[in-house]
Amino acid sequence: MGAPVFDALRLRDGTRLRWARWRTADAPRATILVLTGRAEFIEKYAETAEGLVARGFQVVTFDWRNQGLSDRPLANRQIHHLTDFARLVDDLDEMVERVARLCAGDGPLLLLAHSMGGLVATLALARHAEDAEAYCAAAILSAPMHAIHFGPLPRVLAGWLAALGVACGWGERYALGQRDYHPADGRFRPDNSITSDPRRYAAFHGPFAAQPALRVGGVSYGWIAAALAAEDEVKTTLPLERVRVPVLLLSALQDRVVRADAHRLVAARLANATRIDYADAKHELLMERDAIRDRVWADIDAFLDKTLASAAAPVVR
């Protein structure tokens, strides 16, 4: 398979997003837009993109603002800051417009979104609930960040601390307990929170050594406040019941990054969702050990085959 082609998209507010495209040798079955998780970057998804291309799909992905090699506004580039997740939905809308123009005639547009990307995808589907079929033909959500896992810290206390930090004018500062990325974070430990596979763990952390500019540290008080507001909307007020496009929600029951119990609530609110639980999986379902990952791919394959068989017409235009 050929290497991806990299490019940049200048958003309407002037922010520069880095993006990449993997093409198929023949006409693609569909175009899949991959939405990465927090602190992630294009290169981390090379294995996933290769798997999709081998299945006949064209793949496009990008670095969100404030991570990867896209623009980061703060003096400390590692602080992951955001004031409203609607800003990321705006960015996604612009990227969908670009993909639609670039990939006209290349089949339906599908979303494959992980963790934070899964939250943004859910927000976008709700924003476009009345015409979601024109936005994308289907969405696959891998361990979506519908609720952050704060461990022993009560959510109400996390929210209070975030609100206090923002009120004190510290919105752009690291939240309590957050810091810059440290090279020691790249050493695989069996009790890590994302995957039981050492090689795929290294695929995430290894590029940080070669390209330190990819590194992202912890989150700001503003980011936490924005994330909690977004998850409240997803769980309670957004019109998810009007989202008719097929959604496959993949949930890792050993997840210590996001709360798997929130997936049941959101899947029940979506009008056309299928939820699949993986009892032995950690957060990174697409980067778990083969025994788990093979099952995940089998479920994705079945969903894509069914979705494409019933697609009435291409959506990418």
315 part of a folded domain: no
Which region, left, alpha or beta, applies to residue 79 given φ > 0 means left and ψ of -120 to 50 means alpha? Answer: beta
Does the structure show a pLDDT above 70 at 312? no
pLDDT of 175 strictly over 80: yes
Query: In this predicted structure, what is the pLDDT of residue 313?
Result: 43
The verdict on residue 190 lying in a domain is yes
Mind listing the pLDDT tens digit for each residue in 121-173? 999 999 999 988 889 999 999 999 999 999 999 999 999 999 999 999 999 99
Full domain range(s) for residue 78 = 5-310
For residue 1, pLDDT over 60 is answered with no
Determine the pLDDT at residue 132. 83
- Going by pLDDT thresholds of 50, 70 and 90, the confidence category of residue 317 is very low
Sorting pLDDT into bands at 50, 70 and 90, what band is 282?
A: very high
Alpha carbon distances (Å) from 275 to 249, 266, 288: 5, 10, 18
Domain count, the chain: 1
Q: For the domain that residue 112 is a member of, what is the CATH number? A: 3.40.50.1820
317, part of any domain = no
Residue 316 belongs to a domain:
no
Q: Across all residues in the chain, what is the average pLDDT? A: 95
**Could you tell me if residue 47 is inside a domain?**
yes
Residue type, 252: A
Q: Give the pLDDT score at 104.
A: 84
For residues 285-305, average pLDDT:
98
